[in-house]
Structure 1
Amino acid sequence: MKILVLSSLYPNDVARRHGIFIEHRVAHLRGPGDEVRVVAPVPWFPSANPAFGRYADFARAPHAAERRGVPVTYPRYPVVPKVGMTAAPWLMAAALYPHIKGLRRDFDFDAIDSYYLYPDGVAAGLLARWSDRPFLMSALGTDVSLIPQHRPERRMILNAVERAAAVTTVCGALRDELLALGAAADKVSVVEHGVDLELFSPPADRAALRAEMGLAGPAVLSVGHLIDRKGHDLAIRAVAELPGVTLMIAGDGPREGALRALVEELGVGERVRFLGHVDQQQLPGLYGAADIAVNCADREGIANVLLESLACGTPLVATPVWGSPEVVRVPEAGVLSADRSAGAIRDAIAALLAALPDRAATRAYGERYDWRETGRQHRALLAAAVG
């Protein structure tokens, strides 16, 4: 097959924290003889001046690259902030059509494989219609849990789902919600994310690693962009009430100043470490050194941190939202907090520290999340669409 992947979340050299999980998924769906190309649209912005903050990143993004052996192009498309949400799929599709038409001269693709239902999936549906090709859509999280709360977007998503050859969700909770919105049950399949089991693996000498990092007592790790919905503030408040426990926060973002101020207010500066942005290659060492990884998010499909931590043998404390209960469902995986509050997260951390599972058992459980199986399931849906 010749597969054209469409995703505005695909990573590039500037947007480092974009959907690395999509890149992994795409890398593993290729079968023998298959050819894959990625179109990763980037919002148009006129200036790369750093004064414009994250908007300048759009201008600095490359126009083409090769990642993991897959050619990627980054065409620009117009975005009208806030007021243009309803028009976003049409603006994306109209901007991409000439680019995709040009690609077809030497890459006459068999199907469009899109990630994130809105605007990407809806735009993929338009492009597929104009190209007379089948298309798939994959739901990742807020494209089901948040965006369909707006009626125009919900209507467009459901229309695209109806016309798609197949739709995947990364967890059962997202599938259930999509069905509740009105999607047909025979159209939607759960295809869970995987994890790089070679990169994310237990450390060879955990004691030496912890000594190198200066960790003498219990350590908790919170990974993610420093934004409100990730709940790092809840992790800080929880650990503040657990004497002797160290919290490591891996990530950067706009809430760093507020989080640092909270640490000072609670008087736990000696027990909370801000590590800044951590490249994926360095994350396994942090997971391996930590006793627990905590995910305090308010909404997730299946968060990368859950699977990465398990693969490193580190059990989890997670809030009981969306796909997290589908991962943290056995003692080897860790525990769910009773709710999304600092007190409930504190209690869950304390309970898990008092009865930590065997790390080899945690790793063995994590091995079920294998990208190769994810790719096999996803490719089967593509093959059925093309067939």
Structure 2
Amino acid sequence: MKILLLSGLYPSDAQPRHGIFIEHRVAHIAQPGDEVRVVAPVPWFPSRNPVFGRYAEFARAPRTAMRRGIAIDHPRIPVIPGLARLTPGLMAAALYRPITALRRTFDFDVIDAYYLYPDGVAASRLAAQFDVPVVLTALGSDVTLIAQRRAERAMIVAACAGAAAVTAVCGALRDELVGIGVDAAKTLVVEHGVDLDLFRPPADRAALRTRLGIARPTVLIAGHLIDLKGQDLAIRAIARLPGVRLMIAGHGPNDAAYRALAVAEGVAERVDFLGHVDQARLVDLYGAVDVVANCSEREGISNVLLEALACGTPLVATPVWGSPEVVKVPEAGVLTSDRSVDAIARGMAAVLADPPDRGATRRYAERYDWNETGRLHRVILAQAVAAHRRAG
């Protein structure tokens, strides 16, 4: 089977962590005899000057690359600020020529597209043009945010109607898709996995804590510093827990505001802003801290949840979208009653006072295996190809 993966969420040398969970998923889909190519479009931008932030990162993305033995193309697409509704059509039009050229040497059987809007909508249109089936995957904000807008919702529902199958990374996303009109019979849950070899409990946790300078009870929250991730709630919660330290891994536009909040709450000396943390260091942090918090307003299934559990560290998570599907047993930690400072502080206090056995937490995480994710997803792709061939 020849699989063409299409998604703007895919890592590159310029954005090495961008959509890395899709790269993990793809690495476990292909079986002997399968071939995979990736088309990961990048918004066109004229300057690589770092002053332009993430737009400059788009410009620095290579035109072609090879990662994990898979060839990747990064064609440029036009994106018009303020006219997001045009993006799927612009993406499909911009990708038609490079995909036509690619097909001369890679006659793909199926398009495997991730993120429903604009990527999935564009992929559905391209699949019709190339007469191949398409499988769409919903990841999170494409459903929880974008699909709540009328025009975008209509395009998403139409794209799903034309797809051979639609997968979602959690049941909550699937239920929402069905609720807005996507056919329940073709909408399936295929959960994300986690790299269980990379994310694992430390061999000597006490020595690791000493090396990292962690002596007191410590909570970690990891993610982009933006409103929806809720680091401000974690800071306010820590202010109600004397003696507890908070480590914040990540960077983003709210950095200065959150530092000021820590000062205002009187906890600046107990809140560490770590900035960007690479994967190797993140593994150490997960394994060393006592609790990992997720205070998000919306999630599909957060990578942070699965990575922390794989390292044996319990969670405190707000009850949004896919999080209740992960934090559903005592060994996973505590699901808060709501997304409030009081509830988050109570959850942190509860886990710190009576933590689950870290070995049991790790064993629970082992159900999130990328191998099984890849196997299930490949079955769906193969069924799509077989049905398309039968239909003539």
Question: What TM-score range do you get, normalising by the shorter chain?
Answer: over 0.9
User: Which residue does 1:271 correspond to in 2?
Assistant: 270
Deviation at 1:16, TM superposition (A): 3.0
Q: Which residue of 1 aligns with 2:168?
A: 169
Q: Distance in 1 between matches of 2:109 and 2:379?
A: 14
Q: How far, CA to CA, are the matches of 1:281 and 1:94 in structure 2?
A: 40
Aligned equivalents of 1:231 and 1:17: distance in 2?
21
Partner of 1:185: 184
Q: Deviations over 1:246-285 (max 9, x none)?
A: 1111111111111111111112122111111111122110
> Does residue 1:70 correspond to 2:65, yes or no?
no
Written as runs of structure 1 = structure 2, the 5 A alignment for 1:291-310 is 291-310=290-309
Equivalent position amino acid for 2:148 in 1: Q
Deviations 1:84-133 (A, max 9, x none): 21111110010011000010111000000000000000100111111111
Runs of 4+ aligned residues of structure 1 deviating over 3 Å after TM superposition are none
Aligned-pair distance for 1:51? 2.3
Q: Which amino acid aligns with 1:284?
A: V
Distance 2:292 2:68 in 1: 28
Offset of residue 134 of structure 1:
0.4
Paired with 2:163 and 2:175, the residues of 1 have a C-alpha distance of 18
Q: Deviations over 1:150-198 (max 9, x none)?
A: 1111111111111100000000000000000011111100000000000
Q: Secondary structure at the match of 1:270?
A: helix
**For residues 182 and 239 of structure 1, what CA distance do their matches in structure 2 show?**
42
Name the count of aligned residue pairs: 386
TM-score by length of 1: 0.99
Amino acid paired to 2:310: A
Q: Which whole-Å CA distance do the structure 2 matches of 1:367 and 1:382 have between them?
A: 25
CA distance in structure 1 between the partners assigned to 2:59 and 2:349 by the alignment: 46
2:247 corresponds in structure 1 to 248
1:12 aligned counterpart, secondary structure: coil
* Match in the other structure for 2:260: 261
Which 5+ residue runs of structure 1 have no aligned equivalent?
A: none
- Report the Cα distance in structure 2 between the residues aligned to 1:260 and 1:359, rounded to whole angstroms: 31
Take 1:49 and 1:359, find their aligned partners in 2: how far apart are those partners? 45
Instruction: Tell me the SS of whatever aligns to 1:343.
Output: helix
Distance of 1:14 and 1:255 partners within structure 2: 23
Match of 1:314 in 2: 313
Distance 1:257 1:284 in 2: 26
CA RMSD of aligned residues (A): 0.8
Distance 1:71 1:282 in 2: 28
* Alpha-carbon distance, 1:17 to partner: 3.1
1:36 equivalenced with 2:36 (yes/no): yes
The 2-side partners of 1:254 and 1:8 are apart by: 22
The equivalent residue for 1:55 is 55
Determine the C-alpha separation between the residues in 1 that align with 2:8 and 2:161.
22
Per the alignment, residue 22 of structure 2 pairs with 22
- Counterpart-to-counterpart distance in 2, 1:68 and 1:219: 36
The residue aligned with 1:148 is: 147
The corresponding residue for 2:126 is 127
* Separation in structure 1 between the aligned mates of residue 56 and residue 229 of structure 2, nearest angstrom: 24
Structure-1 separation of matches of 2:216 and 2:376: 42
Residue 11 of structure 1 and its aligned partner are, at CA, apart by: 1.1
Match of 1:196 in 2: 195
TM-score by length of 2: 0.97
Whole-Å Cα distance in 2 between the matches of residues 127 and 288 of structure 1? 44
- Structure 2: distance between partners of 1:213 and 1:48: 36
1:54 Cα deviation from its structure 2 partner: 1.9
| Deviation (angstroms), 1:56 | 1.5
Tell me what 2:238 maps to. Answer: 239
Residue 390 of structure 2 corresponds to none
Identity percentage of aligned residues: 68
Partner secondary structure for residue 212 of structure 1: helix
The alignment partner of 1:22 has SS state of: helix
The code of the aligned residue for 2:163 comes to A
Which residue type is aligned with residue 311 of structure 1?
Answer: A
The whole-number CA distance in structure 1 between the counterparts of 2:87 and 2:29 is 28
Unaligned runs of 5+ in 2: 387-392
